[in-house]
Chains A and B, each alone.
Chain A
C-alpha cells in the first residue's frame, strides 16, 4: 500500500512564525504535491515537484515555499504565517506513468494561525 505521511495532524502557530510542514512517501514516486483545502473552495494546488530539487508553482504559491532534497520528502514552508493561511494542508504523491495518474494523499495537517 502507498503510504504518504504528514508529520502533524494538528498545528497551532502564531502570526509571523516560520512554519514547516513535512511529508514523506514510501512508494518511490517522482511527483509530490501540496494542496490546501478550504470550505467551498475544494483542493487548490500550492506547489508540486516532479523530481528532487525541482519545484513548480501551483495556483496559489504566494506566501509559501517548498523544499525537496530527497525523493521521498517534500516540505512546505510558510515563511511568515498569517491568519489567512489557516487551513487543511494535504500532501500527495503520484507515479510517472500515464496509466497511474492517481495521487495518493496523506491524512492532512490542520493548521491554525492565531
Chain B
C-alpha cells in the first residue's frame, strides 16, 4: 500500500520552461515533506523540504507547494536547465520509535530537460 505516490514516471520539458513534479500522500500523520534528486549511480541528494504547517517553501529556482487538504504537494523548477535532468523522489516523514523522523519515498519521476 503506497503511502507516497508519484503518478508520473517521467516528464519531459524544454530548457527555460517550468517543470512541475507532483506527489500525493495518504497518511495524514506525515509532518514533513521532502524532495530528493538522484543521478544514475549516485545516492539521492536532498533538494528542498516543507513542514506540514506551511503551504510554500522557496529556494532559488525550486519551490515546493503543499496542499494539505488535498494531500498533495508539487515541486516547481523555474527555469528548468539540462543539469536538472535526474530522477526526483518525493518523500514524507513521520515520527517513529525513538522520536526519529522516518522518510517514506515515492517511486520517483524521471525529469528530462531538453536543450
Question: Contact residues of A with B, CB < 8 Å?
Answer: 4, 30-31, 33, 35, 40-45, 48, 50-51, 54, 56, 58, 90, 92, 94, 96, 98, 101-108, 110
Contacts and interface: CB of A to CB of B under 8 A. Distances in A.
Contacts of B81: none
Interface stretch (B14-22, B56-64, B66-74, B93-101): B93-101
Contact of A98 (B42, B96, B101, B102): B101
Contacts of B105: 35, 42-44
Interface size class of B (residues with CB under 8 A): 20 to 34
A82 to B, nearest CB: 23
A54 B103 contact: no
B112 interface: no
The A contact surface, by secondary structure, is: strand
Interface of B: 6, 9, 31-32, 34, 36, 41-46, 49, 89, 93, 96-108
Given A48-B96, A50-B98, A105-B36, 16 more contacts: A40-B9, A41-B107, A44-B105, A48-B102, A56-B98, A92-B43, A94-B100, A96-B99, A98-B31, A98-B101, A101-B34, A101-B49, A101-B103, A103-B46, A105-B43, A110-B41
A50 B99 contact: yes
Contact of B42 (A42, A50, A51, A107): A107
A102 B97 contact: no
A58 B107 CA distance: 16
B31 A4 contact: no
B34 A42 contact: no
11 contacts: A30-B100, A42-B106, A43-B105, A50-B98, A94-B100, A96-B99, A98-B32, A101-B31, A101-B34, A102-B49, A108-B43
A58 to B, nearest CB: 8
Contact of B98 (A51, A103, A105): A51
